[in-house]
Amino acid sequence: MNLSGLFAALPDTLRDELFECYKRITQNYAEHRWEPAELNGGKLCEVVYSIVNGVLIGNFPTTASKPRNMVSACQALERIPEDTSRIGDRSLRILIPRLLPYLYEIRNNRGVGHVGAEVNPNHADAEAVMSLASWIMAELIRIFHNVSLTEAQAEVDALVERRHPLVWEIDGTKRVLNPKMRKADQALVLLYSSKNWVDVDNLCNWIEYSNPSAFKSQVLKPLHEERLIEYQTDSHRSRITPKGVMHTEESLLS
């Protein structure tokens, strides 16, 4: 699926708000900035509510707006009559509207949007926000584009690059800010931070590997054999695999 074609039925400004909120959640979560990650979870609720309400009443707003009372507004969506011909009808009327107040509550009453709350912004709450935001995005893609949830989640994963303070980017060049890290591990971290295929020559230059042929045979090929990356010799490009993502998160970035 072409990412530029996602949510083409939405007004451009509403679509941009949706993407921006989700990207900010993922970026702040990756950088362990719990408070802004949770705060943007609240903003995502307002955008998603505007989209879901627009689908159900047949008229999208140009931009998102905050309902006067999120809980009451979501309960009102549940009272809209069932339409079995509408793709994702129950998810739009019931499931998503029941998740939004929970997500919104974290923003309002867990030390994020106001002072003096019982709980300060923390990893556990940010984890909940990240998981819910990802699921909601995938469900909206599934509904809007009539694809499987697995396909929809793949599109969500492609929306944003995985960010980590260990990776620095400037003018199209990426660097791992730990020069003592093994070259193979640097390759994994750099591929982890890239949402698409990476040209092998670029990857070699980013790591500053002096011998491109040796880089391919001694670094990329073993990583491919371990199924940590997919290395395509014909197209000279590489991409991290789900196994590689898990290894990188658990062993290199933890």
For 80-125, write each residue's pLDDT tens digit: 999 999 999 999 999 999 999 999 988 766 544 444 444 456 788 8
Task: Locate CATH 1.20.120 in the chain.
Answer: 3-159
| All CATH 1.10.10.10 domain ranges in the chain, comma separated | 167-252
Query: Predicted confidence band at 175 (pLDDT cuts at 50, 70, 90)?
Result: very high
Indicate yes or no: pTM above 0.85.
no
3-159: CATH architecture: Up-down Bundle (1.20)
Instruction: State the alpha helices, DSSP H only, in the chain.
Output: 12-30, 34-57, 70-78, 89-90, 96-109, 123-145, 149-159, 183-192, 200-207, 212-215, 221-225, 242-247
Shortest CA distance to 77 belongs to which of 91, 59, 62, 60?
A: 91
Taking the C-alpha atoms of residue 107 and residue 109, their distance in angstroms, rounded to an integer, is 6
| Model confidence at 207: pLDDT above 50 | yes
Residue 171 CB contacts under 8 Å (≥ 6 apart), including other chains:
none
Q: How many CA atoms within 13 Å lie on the side-chain side of 188?
A: 27
Of the spans 141-145, 164-168, 220-224, which averages the highest pLDDT? Answer: 220-224
Classify burial at 71, counting beta carbons within 10 Å of its beta carbon; exposed 0-12, middle 13-18, buried 19 or more. Answer: middle
pLDDT at position 38, please? 81
Residue range 167-252 in CATH 3.40.50.300: no
- Any idea what the Cα angle at residue 66 is, between residues 62 and 70, rounded to 5°? 135
pLDDT digits (tens, 9 = 90+) for 16-49: 999 999 988 887 887 778 888 888 888 999 999 9
Phi and psi torsions of 231, nearest 5° = -115, 115
- Looking at residues 3-12, what average pLDDT do you find? 83
Q: What is the mean pLDDT of residues 143-147?
A: 86
Give the mean model confidence (pLDDT) for residues 129-147: 90
